[in-house]
Amino acid sequence: MALTYLGVNTPKNGIEKHALLFLHAFPLSAAMWQPQIEVFGAEGYTGIAPNSFGIDGSPEKEGWTFTDYAHELAALLDSLKIETATVVGLSMGGYQAFEFYRLYPDKTASLVLCDTRAEGDAPAARSTREDFIRAVEENGAGEAAARMIPNYFSTKSYSERPELVAQAAAIINKQPPAVIIEAMRAIMMRSDATARLGAIDCPVLVLNGEEDRLTTKETAESIHAHIPGSTIRLLVGAGHISNMEQPEAFNRALFEHIAEVRQS
């Protein structure tokens, strides 16, 4: 059983423009990428936003790792006759993007690393994640939403855009607690990508919300500093889920990046 996904302009006989592979944040789903799927699809680009294991119809898998997921992503691209794609990963999706590039550099046209980090967990972060797992085991998906949502957006959005906050909460609350826990365990088991940053030789855009409290602009600047030739863009008025909060600015930066990739 293959991963489920949101898709637009999926190719039958080759790609007319360029393909994008969108990898979602924890514990959200492909639905978070709707603002990008719609806009890039309207411009003729191929867009694929898969759901991680157990999310929105994707098969559940116990003890899965980002290595497992990268292989599934490659199989999905192959099934759709997509040879290469710009891999756009946000937060957990960024961790997955690092692993996909490590295993499949030939399938990676470029990387867009959004609101993510390269290093593995420090002991304090691991302890926090273990506490998160225990709480979700006891209280369900609502516990995950209660812990994650307050860190997702810029301060202003919580008072001025309640519909955005509600949309993110609804996505999380749909997910089975066991699936959320397996994804958190995959995050805890991820490898540290820091030492590999200097060897990345495809085009890279680092995109980050200027008001991101989970992966700060300093974190983004560190990734940028360690990847030769990379570009960085900080999005004003955006927190951690920057593509949902400031979709126009996010899309503009992504369009500019793709234009540069296609010209190179």
State the Cα–Cα distance between residues 246 and 122, nearest whole angstrom. 30
- Other Cβ atoms less than 10 A from the Cβ of 172: the count is 22
The per-residue pLDDT for 263 is 87
DSSP state of 84: -
pLDDT digits (tens, 9 = 90+) for 122-177: 888 889 999 999 999 999 999 999 999 999 999 999 999 999 999 999 999 999 99
Question: Alpha helices of the chain — where are they, by DSSP H?
Answer: 34-42, 66-79, 92-103, 123-139, 141-148, 155-160, 162-173, 177-188, 217-226, 242-245, 247-263
Rounded CA-CA distance 251/205 in Å is 12
Amino acid at 102: R
What pLDDT score was predicted for residue 11? 77
Burial 124-133 (b: 16+ CB within 10 A, else e): eeeeeeeebb
Please state whether the predicted TM-score (pTM) of the whole model is above 0.85.
Answer: yes
Phi, psi of 66 (to 5 degrees): -70, -25
Cα separation, 21 vs 111, in Å, equals 10
Q: How confident is the model at residue 220 (pLDDT cuts 50, 70, 90)?
A: very high
pLDDT digits (tens, 9 = 90+) for 4-31: 999 999 876 566 679 999 999 999 999 9
**Strand arrangement of the beta sheet that strand 204-209 belongs to:** 5-8, 46-50, 19-23, 85-90, 108-114, 204-209, 231-235
The pLDDT assigned to 126 comes to 87
Q: What percent of the chain stands above pLDDT 90?
A: 93
Contact 20, 46 (CB under 8 A): yes
Percentage of residues of the chain with pLDDT beyond 70: 98
For the segment 88-117, what is each residue's pLDDT rounded down to a tens digit? 999 999 999 999 999 999 999 999 999 999
Structural domains in the chain? 5-119+191-263 (3.40.50.1820)
